[in-house]
Chain A
Amino acid sequence: MKKISTKAIAFYGIMAAFSLVLGYIEHLIPLPVGIYGIKLGLANLATVVSLYFLGAPAALTLNFIRIILSSLLFGNVLSLSYSLCGGMLSCLIMIAVKHIRGFSCVGVSICGGVAHNIAQLAVAVILLDNVKIAFYLPVLVIVGAITGLLIGLCALPLVKNKYLRSSYGISE
């Protein structure tokens, strides 16, 4: 079995706590937009950062833990199904985009935001059994791209941080 360094364990814990707090802060900020399903996706910041420092399996695991805990703390079963589909698809897409050359974490985050909203809309279409709400798709795609951009810009200084990079053995 591969040994996990103490540093990695600490980082996992910090990231899990970080994402939960971000999720909580998000619940506290009421958005003035009246369209259902629009939110900042602050917790995605933790996913992006852990994806860059701990790798794909860690990002997926942390994301899963975050969604389960966050739904237990602030949500219900219904919000769990939305978050789980949105969060996991967005995480998988971000892992894929990270492997494409030429994209920084901003591009990765944008794709994550868009994927998250598309997945949630798909769940809504299935759960509400109403195809007509799919017409919200363009709006949600644009909103996902914008929130993804903001989250990506926030993650950029963290990902670029020389000290963090060297302690995780990332050169370039």
Chain B
Amino acid sequence: MRTYRRTEKDGSAHVNGSPNTHAHIGMGTGARPFALVNKQGQHERLYCVNHAAEQAGLYIGMAVTQARALCRNLTLWPAAPDDDTQFLRHLRRWTQRYTPWASIDGTDGLLLDITGAAHLFGGEMMMLTDIRRRLDAMGLSCRLGLADTRGAAWALAHYHEAIAPVGETETAIEHLPVAALRLEPDMVVALQRLGLRRIADLQATARAPLARRFGPDLLAKLDQAMGFRSEPLSPDADPPYYAASMTLAEPIGLLDDLWRGLDELLSRLCVTLTNQHMGMRAMELVLRRVDKASLTLPLRLAAPMRDKDRILPLFSRQLEMVDSGFGIDQLRLRALQVEPLAMEQMGAEVVPDLNDLITRIGTRIGLNNIQRFTPHDSHWPERSFALAPATSHQGARNWGPQDWGRSPLRPTCLFPPEPIYAHHDGRREPPHEFQWRRDIFTIAKASGPERIAPEWWNSTQSLRDYWYVQTSQGRRLWIFHTPQDKGYAQGSGWFVQGEFA
């Protein structure tokens, strides 16, 4: 069916928008020279230029210093190729209003197969006009080409914006330079050296020597552009969309009804997630009321999940607080953060999952307020550990007791150093009697010193001599003094930093 239509009439439209066009918006496209810059190798180079900059003699790949020298009022902006790709993906989705067969072509183009779709817009001409008008309204500049074949459409979009009438592909593109055949730059140079500048020259040349000299690729490209060799277009699949919504004829307000609606949405979403082997970590439920106010109930999970029966109860705290007003007529559930989640063996023993509990507590106090100790590479006591959210992946790293068997004595509690009050006689041993937290202590036993030096790049702290002291009152403390601080600015120069409580 499709091939038949193709022989009769095939339209291939090529939309070529300059990349980063979204970055130009608001920059006065075309009025002033503007270029995007990124780092290629060791040099900052132009990544993309607008028309005014091109007029000034700038080209893509030029060094930024050279461009500045040529063009005094040049505006530069860092390029973001990832965002461009993302934008192009959105634009591709938008072009599906014209045809279902749309795909991204290279880094800066879109390819539409408009077979059988042009008449819906009043013909090819009208369709292209419509595309151009709408893109203009969006603030995008574009170049459009339309031809029977994919290669010809590309050539027209890049070198001579036009519509090639049906069956006249050859006449439409033969006057274009050979680079319009999507060839490698060095092949283009080589062809030009031979005097083959236009596609017509190439066609007039004998094929066998060309194939011998340049390999099969050149002739393949030529044949594809002319339509002697097929080059199918495979439309990109739409990325999976992790959301579900439900619009109701009559507004609802009862909690039971909301539960039922959420249950329905969640089962739909979980089916999508299961098919894609994904789990969601964050989602939001938007409830739209009849009076157009909308309520957003966010939910973050401690671990990626796609199990409906486990997620549903986690909404209970928030759903019970919903003020439904005159009623709710639209429910929308959207996954905000999705992560790969592998399939699991079924039928295993059901163990209560700690992550469910973390999520439940997290909905009340915030997921970041549930933490775990993570080791940190430092001898300095305050820096030897860190508190990371319990949901982060790099928890639970070698805290095993085997690491601590040979570790020195450390207190259970650690607090910021608190000065102790004592008569200081300049000795290196701890004072016999001291006052700390309004209590008087006498030292019965002391062991030390254990010298801990800060890392050499931390010059604000000076090294400490730690002592483990047992007081005759019973409390066991971890105290230190700083032998390098000659001034003893703070009292005795001794501090309590921990307690073996």
Q: Do A and B bind each other?
A: no
